[in-house]
Amino acid sequence: MPTKEIPFKGFGSVAIHAGHTQDENYAHLTPVYASSTYIFNNAEQGMRRFNGEEKGYIYSRWGNPTMTEAEDKISALESFGVKNKNGEQVQLKTILHASGMGALSTLILGTLKSGDKILSHFSLYGGTQELMEKVLPPLGIEVIIVDLRDFNKANEAVKNDGKIKMLYLETPANPTIQCVDIEELTKFGKSHNLIVAVDNTFATPFLQQPFRHGVDYVFHSTTKFLNGHGTAIGGALTGADIEFMEERMTKVHRLLGGNSNPFDAFLLTQGMKTLEVRMERHCSNAENVAEFLQKHTSISKVNYLGLSTHPDHETSKKQMAHSGAMLSFELKNGLDAGKKFIDKLQMCVRAVSLGTCDTLLSHPASMTHYGVPKEKREQYGITDGLIRMSVGIENVADILDDLDQALV
Ligand SMILES: Cc1ncc(COP(=O)(O)O)c(C=O)c1O
User: pLDDT of 182-201, one tens digit each?
Assistant: 999 999 999 999 999 999 99
Mutate to test the pocket of ligand 1, among 99, 101, 208, 225 (most ligand atoms within 8 A of CB): 101
Domain boundaries, the chain: 11-31+63-272, 275-406
pLDDT of residue 3: 53
pTM for this prediction: 0.96
Tell whether ligand 1 has an atom less than 6 A from the beta carbon of residue 233: yes
Which residue among 221, 231, 256 has the greatest number of ligand 1 atoms within 8 angstroms of its CB, and so is best to mutate? 221
CATH 3.30.300.180 fits 11-31+63-272, yes or no: no
> 125 CA distance to ligand 1 centroid (A)?
7
- 186 CA distance to ligand 1 middle (Å): 22
- Assign 3-class secondary structure to the chain: CCCCCCCCCCHHHHHHHCCCCCCCCCCCCCCCCCCCECCCCCHHHHHHHHCCCCCCCCECCCCCHHHHHHHHHHHHHHHCCCECCCCCECCCEEEEECCHHHHHHHHHHHHCCCCCEEEECCCCCHHHHHHHHHHCHHHCCEEEECCCCCHHHHHHHHHHCCCEEEEEEECCCCCCCCCCCHHHHHHHHHHCCCEEEEECCCCHHHHCCHHHHCCCEEEEECCCCCCCCCCCCCEEEEECCHHHHHHHHHHHHHHHCCECCHHHHHHHHHHHCCHHHHHHHHHHHHHHHHHHHHHCCCEEEEECCCCCCCCCHHHHHHHCCCCCCEEEEEECCHHHHHHHHHHHCCCCEECCCCCCCCCEEECCCCCCCCCCCHHHHHHCCCCCCEEEEECCCCCHHHHHHHHHHHCC
Best of 120, 169, 177, 224 to mutate for ligand 1, by most ligand atoms within 8 A of CB? 224
Residue 1 has a pLDDT of: 41
Residues in the chain with pLDDT values less than 70 = 1-4
275-406: CATH, from 3.20.20.140, 3.90.1150.10, 2.40.30.20, 3.30.1490.190? 3.90.1150.10
Residue having the nearest C-alpha atom to atom 8 of ligand 1: 100
Q: Give the nearest ligand 1 atom to 128 CA.
A: 4
Please give the distance, rounded to the nearest whole angstrom, from the Cα atom of residue 224 to the centre of ligand 1: 8
pLDDT value, residue 4? 58
